[in-house]
Structure 1
Amino acid sequence: MAFRGPNATSGMGVADNSKTTFLELQRKKIHRYVIFKIDEKKKQVVVEKTGGPAESYEDFSASLPENDCRYAVYDYDFVTAENCQKSKIFFVAWSPAVSRIRAKMLYATSKDSFRRELEGIHYEIQATDPTEIDLEVLKERAN
């Protein structure tokens, strides 16, 4: 069963691989981040790229296209003021101002149903330019 039925609002399903890859990030820490894109021909959200545990936040932000929309999850590790090691998963809805109107609409209408498929997200960030996903933004949200 490679395809989950289309969502009534957007017509986008979620590829099984998308959920599996998210679970690998969440539970097994195999990935630092996952970039998802909508495959319009298949009418589903698919994995475009993953980053290994050693990859940096700069690697992640550089993986987001400057002129097209994407969804992404990032596993943010940090140390609290009490010196505890913590991890929070961020969902990023990336929609640059210069991307096509059709892409912005497609990603906007599919976001909620896709995000619901990924259980265990701690924070969500809507971003239209790189300053909105600066590492400082994640630090502030996580603390």
Structure 2
Amino acid sequence: MSSSGVEIDPEIPVIYGKMRRKKHKFATFKFQGKKLIVPDMLADPVVTETRDQDMVEFNKLKDMVTESNDPRYILYDFSFETCKERTVLKTLAFIFWCPDNSKIGQKMIYQSSKEHIKKSFPGLSVEFQACNKEEFDYNEFADEVEHRQK
């Protein structure tokens, strides 16, 4: 439990372990009430080998989470062949989606609990934040993921 009294559903670290084993393409997490973070959506595993294939899956995620004004914590499995080295890059990333037009109370609770949920994802080193659809950009995120692998 965090100092704010927020709890993490015990299934969340299990989902993270499954994602590390490529059992889901992405997962989203949300608050249930004001004190419990729970799984929201789980995507089936999808093999993507090119950036174009990976972008299709990312945009499915983006369309789902941006259709409402509710913040979400997201794990996304980037998987594509790099441009220069022609190797398949596979990286899990944490994305914090907190739309500008969310209710102020939602923004505050999600922001204040972000570090707490990240403790459920040991070894995760790539993180992004987006506050509008333009910032929730596959190419920008994928470029950063690829850059960090060098």
Q: Which amino acid aligns with 2:65?
A: L
- Of 78, 81, 86, the match for 2:80: 78
8 Å CA contact 2:96, 2:129 repeated in 1: yes
Which deviations, in whole Å up to 9, do the C-alpha atoms of 1:104-132 show, x marking residues without a partner? 00000000111122113231111101121
Moved over 6 A (4+): none
Checking the alignment, whether the CA contact within 8 Å between 1:88 and 1:122 is kept in structure 2 is no
The unaligned stretches of length 5 or more in structure 1 are 1-5
TM-score (norm 2): 0.84
- Number of the residue aligned with 1:35: 28
114-123 vs 102-111, greater mean Cα deviation: 114-123
2, 8, 13: which one aligns with 1:7 = 2
How far off is 1:63 after superposition?
2.0
Paired positions, count: 135
Paired with 1:94 and 1:117, the residues of 2 have a C-alpha distance of: 18
My pick for the range that moved more, 101-110 or 71-80, is: 71-80
* 2:118 matches 1:115: yes
- Cα distance in 1 for partners of 2:123, 2:44 equals 20
Shift, 1:46, TM fit: 0.6
C-alpha distance in 2, partners of 1:23/1:63? Answer: 23
Contact 2:7/2:36, CA 8 A, preserved across alignment: yes
Q: CA offsets, 1:54-107, max 9 Å, x none?
A: 271111112214311110010000212111111111101110011100000000
Partner SS for 1:140: helix
Q: Percent of pairs identical after alignment? A: 26
Task: Measure the CA separation in 1 of the matches of 2:125 and 2:119.
Answer: 12
Pick aligned residue for 1:24 from 13, 18, 22:
18
> Hey, what's the Cα distance between the residues in 1 that align with 2:76 and 2:143?
15
- For normalisation by structure 1, the TM-score amounts to 0.88
| Root-mean-square deviation over aligned CA pairs | 1.4
* Contact 1:57 1:135 survives alignment (8 Å): yes
3-state SS in 1 of match to 2:78: strand
Unaligned 5+ runs, structure 2: 47-55
